[in-house]
Structure 1
């Protein structure tokens, strides 16, 4: 844990003080806001109709009578250049809306530059401009304003719910970080003692009534029972330590005495207590920061203080970029900075504590999740090649090493555990082991109609994950090839998992299944198409006893069904095809259905 010394910076102010209500239901009497934000104890109705009977102004629409229901009007003037926003805080059971106008003329409001009308169905505690201070995504927020010195604004806040426990205003934005005391122009308030002051209970407020020709000063305090003289106080400055209404009487020589009043309200200052460090696996595990709020608050009430968590001390100090309470660590080591803020006044905060979030890395497993065992390799080794000695390994099959050797197909799961104290971070990875055998071509059939239409079917002894290829063409998943050119081809079948291949040479030619040599000039001769695609092709025809009957060469007109001038009977006859292959070897063609029928 680390403590930091801090100094209070007047960035924004927030509070609810029912005993010192500052609220005006009419635009003409809008309460001026300086660098101290006025607070109130609720609204009750409206005075005159500032919208002159209109039914709509920006996103605010007419209710049962006028646009205003229970309204409060405020005005402020910009003193610097920058980004400005504000948060309107209220009871989450109530429904408040607002409209912001860039003007100081109540008779010419125009359209609002920022406007909210959503009902409070998600039970938010804030509406406003900029970002919800709790860090949640809140649709009841409009975009930041970019403001210039001299711009004047009117803000109407309206209560549309039956409950009315009041609201508060908290300014935000970079302009209040860069110019905490001049972001808003205080000349808008014409008062010797200045605007109302909201302070933290560990501060001393000094009221300054210095007047050039003053003889003496009388100071009074109304703590709820009327103004009472403060004994012994006659200096132009008064150090204030309690909440109340303060009055000064400035006694002047000519009797033209001055009287000025202002409000001072103190909000409780929180203390952030020491928080325990957290440890979690870096696997998306959520650390619930809501449960750490009680640690930060100690015995302080969550109704009085809000706890937020930040990635840097600067963000914690500024109350910016609050982390989600459902925090997912992504780093091995990270410091989380804690801010405890008064709900009444966000100026009162403590950003002195932090804690560490230690992330436990998950074991990294990078081995293949699919492994194939080829038929000629009966075993295979699977798992993590380079183990970490600080991790524990366990397989679903019972082994406790990072690598195992298996000889059976199946799914093998490895669990690797990184143990840090009482926390175990586990990575799981599974391997599917598949046996795969090389393909074996059992048969090839060739169906030939003509040189442009044919079909080759490849048959295997066993099914598997195979790819089929003819010659040098791209492999395909189908075992059927269509419309191959006549001639010699090489069919290759490969195991897709790298477990071998089988190759066959085929010849694509066509021949009729029968012929009728009866002199009608139809099918009178039997011949083979596509021989011109082969080198030195020879067709040799036999009878069923293997007797050589005839030979057909490339330029032959075919066989007429006779032998030595004698007509042969009707019967089945056989043939073989020989040719010179691409290696220059004389060979017989395979996979040709080499018989046909002679009919008379």
Structure 2
């Protein structure tokens, strides 16, 4: 079982018939003061605990079939009887009371409820479902019929009662809400609720009961505001006198008590000190008074209890206090040919613009495309706001003639060390170059895009120029060289900057393959100049013969004193090593003209046979090896 109270004021419309007259469209709080849910949640087990013996005289059953005069507390209707309609409790997560009525009509639920609001009107309700599905029986079983009785706990007097009549069956399990209004006597805060089964048991008469609630009710309240501009009921001007009215229907309370509340967000409400009548007068309304107002009504002594009072619908009041100094918004000053705009910062009912030429406009804003200096002058705006405030403002508009001119010239190519002066000079102007410079002119000598903005007052112009940079081509054919007769030699004059090539013989090729001796000259050109290079290539005999003597006589007579080979071709490299008969290297040279003088460590080497080993490379790049013996004779 769950018993709780909440704050809140959602509208529930009921018709109250009491003491011989009708009260229509009663206002009932949506948050019950008392609520019986029979407990349980989504995580609870299927079967709940029994009710206290003081609440019901029926026998509790936790499993199996429920017989006449028995009940269970469960989340679903099955398995009890296989003819029960399948269903869940009213909220879908907790428990409900499943009842198989006794053979004899009588009460099956009774509870004393405390903590109610004395002298207040309530709405009682409960949800009931017939457990018998429609059109599924050969015999016609009994349908349940329930009667609610509410009595004074102090005197036992009946305060209200309501009979449901036969509760209908449906094709699927269906909950139906039943209820009635009643008034608790002054000075009493408790009552007794009794629920009866009005049909006999036996075949049928099975039902489910859930969510028994008592909700506070009060009179319908008409609300309105007077003193707003043209009685629009919402907007007022600062210093106006306004009044908020609430007209509750009489007859709901013996001694009604009132309290006005204020909120800026309709979430947090605060009592207004001293505002305890049905009319709230504000003689000098201010912007701080903007917000929402509502009237609370309760029986005398209950106004401080959130669960014992009802509230009117909120009344909105917005107090306007327009500032003339900020009434007009404009983009002036501006340069001619731009778009001129003027607008009101204040929402208003009417707008009246007076232009410099004497014309009148009634739009909320003004827009002039391709503005000219003739639009300059004073603009006056008069507005009447939604709250009736009358405000006037004046502003000076300036449309400046554009006398600026800038032309950096056409895109340009700079050669080698050339530079260019970019000049954007305009008298009295301010300059902003994309290089960061702020002078009227700059020198440039590197490639790139240069942009300048020139400003004077509200006017600004800009221009840009793209600079390319190029140097004359460079060329290096090779140093003067030799090549072997019968071979070819390649000359490469390529340069990424060159656009034309010209050799001394008129050839325009980039690369040349030559086979004749001579001086070769090439010229490379582009728009920035011409570069020239020269190379002397000589083709010589590169016969493969290497003439090596087989003996020599180092005796100082000037004839055959040195052992050295002779060649008839040009060499790129040369290496000769002399070995004794034991394989020891005793002489080495890279000079083909030096030769061995027949000494060993500065002393004459012994006569005998020595081994030589020669490695050499020709001009064509080919490498050769040769070895043999030589006889040293003394």
TM superposition score normalised by structure 2: 0.28
Which has the larger share of strand?
2
- Bigger Rg over Cα: 2
User: Relative CO higher for 1 or 2, CA cutoff 8 Å, sep ≥ 6?
Assistant: 1
